[in-house]
């Protein structure tokens, strides 16, 4: 449906009223009790009241002379022409009627490193591309650092099915990776470096905050990880690309992304409320900029709580009703300054019961896996390392 002009919107008036009053639209899932976000999509009370009054008044057309011009949507790049475009290197033929995850590693051929201020992923074929991550592969490494295959320490716990991987059913189980005596298993502490850019339903291009940039070293490769959704119909092809926008020069601060995951989670069959935790103790002063919670169909909620070295606790983000269909990024209005020695506790709950309408199979025990019908408990967190204060300033304190 289109809500761009009166004629198209009018038949939806009652549904619009209901959707904005009950907060279903625009989509936004952060609990307003915690944190403020620069991309908060919620309407103000006055805006909701205006829509309600319009519908209750018979949803009239109003004065045509006051009608605003419809917004113009860019056909291709939403941010305008990129400085450089790198694509997957082939017109890839998608196997009909199958969910597929494909990896394409392509050379940047950069002879010099580049600072980028933004990256936009352009799906080559929107009918089949569900989501895309573009991961930076440093010259020496053959694989992207955040791909499961690139974590040799994890390999004995993995099963591969074609290009998909999952954690073995008999792998050790650690739902609470924050517990004092949690077993020492790979990737349950620290973090892995996250992707350069991501394209997911409802997610805008990755535009980095003013004064920050990401670094692409000379000779780097880019790995595209693309989920092609199960599409019936004739054979489709895709040539997805990423547009890179150069920063004017070296930034004041280098933007980075960490991935925090608990690979050793396990959800029993029919379990309505399995808790899974993952913690990170910061080894450096850090500024946190944004959070993207990521789970699959059984994901129920996710909360990010910080414990400072003085014991003070603060919830930075709570998403009480996670919805797989909306992969939103929550950008903090003010970056959260985190002192070295602070601990971030990420707590998620999963509903594997028949009461979860999105649950594909409540009868199954669920472990970590690439497939949407399996699960993930991961968070992508954009951050800046805080530079030490210059000596003169430090002396004044």
Q: How far is the CB of 327 from ligand HEM (least distance, A)?
A: 11
**Binding marks (x or -) toward ligand HEM, 32..51, rule CB under 6 A?**
-----------x--------
| Structure-block tokens of residue 16 | 């619009």
The number of residues that bind ligand HEM (CB under 6 A) is: 10
Query: Token match 């968070």: residue?
Result: 379
**Using CA atoms, how far apart are residues 326 and 24, in angstroms rounded to an integer?**
12
Among 21, 23, 25, 373, binds ligand HEM (CB under 6 A): 25
Among 4, 8, 11, 15, binds ligand HEM (CB under 6 A): 15
| Whether the Cβ atoms of residue 289 and residue 295 lie closer than 8 Å to each other | no
Q: How far is the CB of 117 from ligand HEM (least distance, A)?
A: 24
329 binds ligand HEM (CB under 6 A): no
Q: Kindly tell me which of 44 and 310 has the beta carbon lying closer to ligand HEM.
A: 44
| Structure-block tokens of residue 173 | 């189980």
Q: How buried is 33 (Cβ within 10 angstroms: 0-12 exposed, 13-18 middle, 19+ buried)?
A: exposed
Q: How far is CA 183 from CA 174, 190, 339, in A?
A: 8, 14, 26
**Binding marks (x or -) toward ligand HEM, 179..208, rule CB under 6 A?**
-----------------------x------
27 binds ligand HEM (CB under 6 A): yes
**Using CA atoms, how far apart are residues 6 and 303, in angstroms rounded to an integer?**
40
Q: Kindly tell me which of 51 and 386 has the beta carbon lying closer to ligand HEM.
A: 51
Q: Kindly tell me which of 52 and 103 has the beta carbon lying closer to ligand HEM.
A: 52
Among 5, 6, 10, 26, binds ligand HEM (CB under 6 A): 26
The distance of Cα 211 from the centroid of its chain, to the nearest Å, equals 22
The helix-helix angle for 13-21 and 45-56 (nearest 10°) equals: 150
62 binds ligand HEM (CB under 6 A): no
| Whether the Cβ atoms of residue 211 and residue 36 lie closer than 8 Å to each other | no
Report the residue closest to ligand HEM, judged by CB. 25
Q: Kindly tell me which of 20 and 376 has the beta carbon lying closer to ligand HEM.
A: 20
- Which has the closest alpha carbon to 304: 333, 337, 283, 278? 278
54 binds ligand HEM (CB under 6 A): no
| Structure-block tokens of residue 145 | 């650092």
Q: How far is the CB of 16 from ligand HEM (least distance, A)?
A: 4
Residue 177, C-beta contacts closer than 8 angstroms, at least 6 positions apart: 188, 189, 262, 264, 277, 278, 279
**Using CA atoms, how far apart are residues 20 and 1, in angstroms rounded to an integer?**
16
Q: Kindly tell me which of 26 and 217 has the beta carbon lying closer to ligand HEM.
A: 26
Q: How far is the CB of 14 from ligand HEM (least distance, A)?
A: 9
| Contacts with ligand HEM, residue ranges (CB under 6 A) | 12, 15-16, 19-20, 25-27, 43, 202
């Amino acid at each position: 449906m289109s809500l761009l002009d009166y004629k198209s919107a009018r038949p939806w008036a009652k549904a619009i009223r209901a959707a904005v009053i009950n907060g279903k639209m625009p989509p936004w899932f952060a609990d307003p009790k915690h944190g403020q976000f620069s991309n908060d999509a919620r309407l103000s009370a006055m805006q909701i009241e205006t829509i309600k009054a319009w519908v209750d008044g018979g949803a009239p057309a109003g004065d045509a002379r006051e009608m605003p011009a419809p917004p113009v949507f860019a056909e291709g790049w939403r941010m305008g022409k990129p400085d450089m475009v790198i694509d997957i290197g082939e017109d890839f033929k998608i196997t009909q009627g199958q969910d597929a995850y494909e990896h394409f590693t392509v050379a940047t051929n950069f002879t010099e490193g580049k600072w980028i201020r933004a990256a936009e992923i352009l799906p080559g074929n929107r009918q089949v591309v569900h989501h895309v991550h573009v991961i930076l592969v440093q010259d020496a490494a053959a694989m992207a650092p955040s791909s499961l295959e690139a974590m040799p320490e994890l390999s004995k716990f993995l099963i591969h099915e074609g290009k998909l991987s999952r954690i073995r059913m008999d792998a050790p189980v650690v739902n609470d990776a924050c517990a004092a005596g949690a077993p020492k298993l790979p990737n349950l502490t620290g973090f892995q470096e996250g992707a350069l850019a991501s394209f997911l339903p409802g997610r805008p291009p990755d535009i980095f905050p003013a004064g920050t940039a990401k670094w692409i070293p000379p000779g780097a490769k880019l790995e595209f990880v693309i989920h092609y959704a199960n599409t019936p119909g004739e054979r489709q092809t895709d040539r997805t690309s990423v547009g890179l926008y150069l920063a004017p020069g070296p930034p004041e601060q280098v933007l980075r992304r960490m991935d925090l995951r608990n690979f050793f989670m396990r959800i029993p069959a029919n379990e309505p409320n399995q808790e899974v935790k993952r913690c990170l103790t910061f080894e450096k002063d850090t500024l946190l900029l944004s959070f993207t919670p990521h789970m699959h169909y059984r994901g129920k909620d996710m909360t990010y709580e910080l414990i400072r070295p003085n014991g003070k606790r603060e919830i930075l983000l709570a998403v009480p009703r996670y919805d797989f269909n909306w992969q939103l990024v929550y950008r903090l209005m003010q970056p959260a300054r985190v002192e070295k020695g602070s601990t971030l506790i990420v707590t998620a709950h999963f509903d594997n019961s028949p009461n979860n309408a999105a649950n594909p199979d409540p009868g199954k025990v669920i472990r970590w896996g690439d497939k949407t019908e399996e699960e993930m408990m991961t968070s992508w967190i954009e951050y800046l390392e805080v530079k030490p204060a210059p000596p003169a300033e430090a002396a004044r304190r």
